[in-house]
Amino acid sequence: MKSAQMDLGEMQVSLDDTAARWRLALSEGNDTASVRRDFDSWLNASPQHRAAYDAMHRSYEIAGAAAGEADILRMRETALRYQPPPKRHSYLWPVSLAATILLAISLGWLARQPAPLPARNVTTASTDSNIQNAKHGEYSTQTGERSTLRLIDGSVVTLDTASTVSLDLTGHDREVRLLRGQASFDVAKDKTRPFVVYAADRRITAVGTAFDVRLSNEAVHVVLVEGKVAVDQLAVNPKESVRSSPLVRTDLQAGEELTAAVGGAAKVREANVERSTSWREGRLVFEGDRLADAIAEMNRYSAAPIVIADTSIGDLKISGVFGTGKPQAFALALTEYFQIDAEVQGDATVLRWRH
């Protein structure tokens, strides 16, 4: 390893990947005076470098201790026995130690949690990452951003990636309109002023509670973390200040999830609250999901998408916990776990079956 910069070449990798490569270089008998000098220079260049290396060193030791666990071996054997359709070409992306460690994280063996998304807000009024005493106006996040809005009534709204809300706390009701994306709501109690969230053709009414709302694929998803909410189906799509009587009302209890296509009936089921709200901590939880669906979710958090070239790859199943906003690290983990390769093409990472 000549130096961090030369070793990584033109690959765009995270600080964790760089730390992993130094850990690998120093553990494979390459600890020469030149390598050590370059490593010390990199390590001392920033406190973040030292913190990343220390965390990677701890993760390396934990991953090594877990490598022989029966569940790890059994899952890896199952994945490696899977025979993909034959392909004429192979695209090999070198696998770093970070991929192996990320795989261990995904299987739940590492205590170290992924770093949260950098919080930054883009609004019509401010570019602060943490808005105080918000009561009126439109607030948005760009891809990969997350923002916290502290409302004038004491409620807190957290915006996920590529999301927009419109606030109006100037009237009798406290009104929020989710125009796109996803947001969580921690509502301050005020029995005299209901807290109302509009999303597509649904109206969610609460007094003091916590819940998550998402607009995706022409559907509304509501997960109730605590308290109670009433979800009304309206006759119109309330993009503007239109009040109407509900067609159907559904009452949710804590731990329940409502899903409804626009204009369709609501379906209520038991929610996996931890999974549904993990995005607030910069994590995505998958439990036997199709890889195509997991990749679509990962792509929401990055302008550098993962693309599946061979459609059958999308039918693979994946379980684990992964950090948001790190598509290349996620792709590297997939190449370590499955018989697939990844190739960087422009801003995208393309997945193909390994020859």
User: What is the three-class DSSP state of 5?
Assistant: helix
Q: Please give the model's pTM, rounded to 2 decimal places.
A: 0.66
Helix (H, G, I), strand (E, B) or coil at 309: coil
Q: Are residues 137 and 83 in the same domain?
A: no
Burial classification of residue 124, based on how many CB atoms lie within 10 Å of its CB (0-12 exposed, 13-18 middle, 19 or more buried): exposed
Identify the segments of the chain with pLDDT beneath 70. 1-14, 16-17, 24, 27-31, 56-129, 236-244
Residue where one domain finishes, among candidates 241, 274, 307: 274
> Which secondary-structure segment (H or E) carries 273?
helix 273-277
From residue 30, how far is each of 35, 36, 100 by CA, in Å?
Answer: 7, 9, 20
pLDDT of residue 135: 85
Task: For residues 47 and 106, state if they share a domain.
Answer: yes
User: Which domain-ending residue is among 274, 305, 333?
Assistant: 274
Task: Give the model's pLDDT for residue 76.
Answer: 45
pLDDT score, position 61:
53
The pLDDT value given to residue 244? 64
Q: In the listed set 274, 305, 335, which residue is the last one of a domain according to the structure?
A: 274
Query: Are residue 269 and residue 130 in the same domain, yes or no?
Result: yes
Distance separating the N- and C-terminal Cα atoms of the chain: 28
A 10 A CB-CB count for 160 gives: 21
127 and 65 within one domain: no
State whether 126 and 269 are in the same domain: yes
| Shared-domain flag, residues 95 and 212 | no
**Count: domains in the chain:** 2
* Predicted pLDDT at 175: 95
* Short-list 38, 44, 27, CA closest to 2: 38
Q: Is 70 left (phi over 0), alpha (psi -120 to 50) or beta?
A: alpha
Q: Which pLDDT belongs to residue 24?
A: 66
Return the biggest CA–CA distance within the chain: 76
Contacts of residue 167, Cβ cutoff 8 Å, sequence gap at least 6: 134, 135, 136, 137, 138, 139, 149, 151, 157, 175, 176
- 166: containing domain: 122-274
Q: Is 56 helix (H, G, I), strand (E, B) or coil?
A: helix
Tell whether 197 and 127 lie within a shared domain. yes
Q: How far apart are CA 338 and CA 333, in angstroms?
A: 9
Calculate Rg over the CA atoms of the chain. 23
The one-character DSSP state at 301 is T
Which of 337, 280, 334 is CA-nearest to residue 163? 280
| Same-domain status, 153 and 199 | yes
Asked if 21 and 130 sit in the same domain, the reply is no
Residues 144 and 252 grouped into a single domain: yes
Beta carbons of 328 and 13 less than 8 angstroms apart? yes
Query: What's the CATH number where 235 sits?
Result: 2.60.120.1440
- 3-class state of residue 71 by DSSP: helix
- Pairing mode of beta strands 317-323, 340-345: unpaired
Residues 66 and 186 in one domain: no
Handedness of CA 206, 212, 213, 219 (dihedral sign): negative
- CATH number for the domain spanning 68: value is 3.55.50.30
Three-state SS for 169-234 is: CCCCCEEEEEEECEEEEECCCCCCCCEEEEECCEEEEECCCEEEEEEECCEEEEEEEECEEEEEEC
pLDDT tens, residue by residue, 228-257: 999 999 986 555 445 567 789 999 999 999
Query: Which one-letter DSSP state was computed for residue 118?
Result: P
Whether 247 and 336 map to the same domain: the answer is no
CA distances in angstroms from 280 to 69, 125, 277, listed in the order given:
31, 23, 6
**What angle is formed at CA 51 by the lines to CA 7 and CA 23, rounded to 5 degrees?**
40
